[in-house]
Structure 1
Amino acid sequence: MNILILGANGFIGSVVAARLLRDGHRVTGLGRQPERARLRQPQIDWVKADLAKMADPKDWLTLLDKQDVVVNCAGALQDGLADDVSAAQQGAMIALYAAAKSAGTALIVQISARTEGAGSDRPFLATKRNADQALKESGIPHVILRPALVIGRNAHGGTALLRSLAALPFALPLAHAGNPVETVFVDDVAAAVAAAIDGEILPGADIGLAESRPTTLADLVLQHRSWLGLPPVPVIALPSAIAKPISWLADMAGRLGWRSPLRSTAMAIMSEGVVGDRGERQIWSRRLTTVAEAFAANPSGVQDLWFARLYLLKPLLICGLSLFWLLSGLVPLIDLGAASSHFLPLMTEFPARMLTIATCLLDIALGATVLFRPCARRALLGMVVVSLVYIVGGTAVEPKLWLDPLGPLVKVLPSILLTFAALAILEER
């Protein structure tokens, strides 16, 4: 069959795509940034598109031409600089259903979620609920799958956060530590999609996907810690109130384009625990993989430990670099005369002051720009270039600065290395 997968370069979508390719289907993948995915999975026909801008059925007609099945693996946790939840999860889906009906699409498989309980009023779950209802009312043959917390060999979002928490030294401070968490292995989600396409799951089914043995958040983090090869440490149960300031900071980061799994939507859902939809679990008879079985079949490597330890350091690196460059631009302005004196051997006082102001503004601009996710890579590269220029210029103008006890030039070298480290871990998927 010809199958169109929405979000095919995502955590779930990439595994679903790989499974359907192995089953012999021809897969077209839709994603906002499929460039690297095209290199990783060249067997897929990639299409670049933004769901948030596909609110008209006409936007879908060309994509649906000759497609037998549509699998929706796309989603957005919360509105932010890079995401419009309502447009992507509801408006685009309703337009898709209208286009699919006229195109004669044989089946739509929707990866949804449990939309009741804590957080159900949030746009993430409300738009999924509305889109699911619209799909049911559309008359198009469909299967809705509602996985609980998805665990996989790779990690993204909530699963990445679990790994990073598991790698903390000395102790594991957790809010909602005792809350229940149900999981499903990502390969089982892909198998359910394949079963729906093959007719093993009949159209009209609405199935919750979760292994039969729920655990707690604390136990799940400890299982991840064991998988990473780290010794057990005590769990410190934090009061749930501590989640509010953390989620507020994460929401602010989201407005700048950073997709933190600690945003308020995730925290609201976690306040009750992550449990799968218990509706029609028995329709599909497959026994789902447990976390222990998934980890046993996919032993960790050193790269997993590096990722876990670096994940929570990433926002600290970005914020640290931002603060460093902002202060390096603001502090010289306090005593402009002293700061511009380094240029006096080359020019008179007025141009020296103007050059000092210009470099200060450049530093401030880089420090502020790196906080905006779409501009972060260019800002980091700019920091490297400007730092090298400062080293060369400082050496030419006043080489004795290398011997200064405070090391104004020496300190530029580790800042460059820190910038390269931020560049190395900047990508989100």
Structure 2
Amino acid sequence: MNVLVTGASGFVGKAVVAELLKHGHTVTAGSRSGRDVSGARGVTLDVTDPGSVQRAVGQADPQAVVHLVGIIAEKGDQTFTRVHVDGTRHVLAATPRGARYVHMSALGAREDSASGYSSSKAQAEALVRASGLNWTIFQPSLIFGPGDDFFGRVLRELVSTAPVVPQIGDGRFPFRPVSVQDVAQAFALAAGSDLGAGQTFALTGPQEFTFRELLELELGALGRKKPIVPVPLPLMDLAVPLMQVLPSPPITRHQYAMLKEGNTAPNEPARTLFDLPMRRLPDDLPGLLRAGR
């Protein structure tokens, strides 16, 4: 099957491309750079430009489209609305009517979210459901794996920068991280069949952790011992906006809003339907952090 993957050069994209190739599909890797990815032929694809999307689809002649493009922080004209909402609209319009369409959303996506990231993901989901295509939507929780942003950068910087580790509020916000291998397998199986057609699936891992437990896991994986100090939410509410003046803030206001909301859901029915391996964060985190040094 010919499969076009958008966002193919990203963290999740590389894993999905590799998994699709393993399943025997012919993959066209769409990205703004147009470079080949994991042995798949690259094609230039900018989701904010409808002409670029149409040209990429024409080159790929896909029987399935896997749409992964997303940003975790806004920069310049790369806003959540422009990338997540308008970009999805452009990809849906270009996807052949008979093709399979598999969409990357996010756990916690809802239009009334305090996070612009989550609300824009919900708006994109609404476009997918109204598209008339043969769609499946996946909503991953925090994704861990080689090159991930949250465990490899955000949490690492949070526990490494100061002599003490700041904990947001009481640290009880729940999370259920999922491995990039589980995510890639779900996308590959859905793209190559009608499994889960017309359905939305949470993609979560086998274990739930509080935010404090994630901080403790990160410290342990890095081989460090530091006191974890709770920071009251009213103080964090003042501090996070001030951080945004930094060239690369340790946490964006949208990430902060998502952390306060938590990010968890049961791993069924996706685990069973897509036969997911359910890799465990404590098993993989030390190696991931060593590899990222």
Root-mean-square deviation (Å): 2.8
Q: CA deviation at 1:28?
A: 1.7
Q: Percent identity of the aligned residues? A: 21
How do residues 23-422 of structure 1 correspond to structure 2 at under 5 angstroms? 23-34=23-34, 38=36, 41=37, 43-54=39-50, 59-65=52-58, 66-100=61-95, 103-116=96-109, 120-157=113-150, 159-168=152-161, 170-176=163-169, 177-199=171-193, 201-228=195-222, 230-253=223-246, 258=248, 260=249, 262-276=251-265, 281=270, 284=273, 285-286=275-276, 288-295=278-285, 298=287, 300-301=289-290, 304=292, 307=293
Q: Is the 8 A contact 1:147 1:276 kept in 2?
A: no
Q: CA deviation at 1:300?
A: 4.8
In structure 2, what is the Cα distance between the partners aligned to 1:277 and 1:15?
23
Aligned to 1:313: none
Q: CA deviation at 1:245?
A: 4.1
Is there any run of 5+ residues in structure 2 with no aligned partner, and where? none
Give the TM-score, by structure 1 length. Answer: 0.60
SS at match of 1:143: strand
SS at match of 2:27: strand
Q: Is the 8 A contact 2:47 2:91 kept in 1?
A: no
Listed one character per residue, the Cα deviations across residues 208-238 of structure 1 (whole Å, up to 9, x for unaligned) are 011242111121122122222x143321111
Q: CA deviation at 1:168?
A: 4.8
Mean alpha-carbon deviation: is it higher for 284-293 or for 115-124? 115-124
Q: Report the structure number with the largest CA radius of gyration.
A: 1
Q: CA deviation at 1:81?
A: 1.4
SS at match of 1:52: coil
Q: CA deviation at 1:290?
A: 1.9
Listed one character per residue, the Cα deviations across residues 74-133 of structure 1 (whole Å, up to 9, x for unaligned) are 112343315122121111212221221xx2352111110134579715432222212212
User: CA 1:112/1:261 → structure 2, altered by over 3 Å: closer, same or farther?
Assistant: farther
SS at match of 1:47: strand
User: CA 1:265/1:138 → structure 2, altered by over 3 Å: closer, same or farther?
Assistant: same
Amino acid at match of 1:223: L
User: CA 1:72/1:246 → structure 2, altered by over 3 Å: closer, same or farther?
Assistant: farther
User: CA 1:206/1:118 → structure 2, altered by over 3 Å: closer, same or farther?
Assistant: closer
In structure 1, what is the Cα distance between the partners aligned to 2:107 and 2:4?
24
Count, aligned residues: 289
Q: CA deviation at 1:267?
A: 0.7
Amino acid at match of 2:173: N
Which structure ranks higher in relative contact order (CA pairs < 8 Å, sequence separation ≥ 6)?
2
Listed one character per residue, the Cα deviations across residues 237-292 of structure 1 (whole Å, up to 9, x for unaligned) are 11123333443244345xx7x5x561111111111222248785466253522212
SS at match of 2:48: helix
User: CA 1:121/1:113 → structure 2, altered by over 3 Å: closer, same or farther?
Assistant: same
Q: CA deviation at 1:188?
A: 0.5
In structure 2, what is the Cα distance between the partners aligned to 1:164 and 1:119?
29
In structure 2, what is the Cα distance between the partners aligned to 1:216 and 1:69?
37
Q: Is the 8 A contact 2:145 2:288 kept in 1?
A: no
More strand by share: 2
Give the TM-score, by structure 2 length. Answer: 0.85
More helix by share: 1
In structure 1, what is the Cα distance between the partners aligned to 2:119 and 2:217?
32
In structure 2, what is the Cα distance between the partners aligned to 1:90 and 1:117?
13
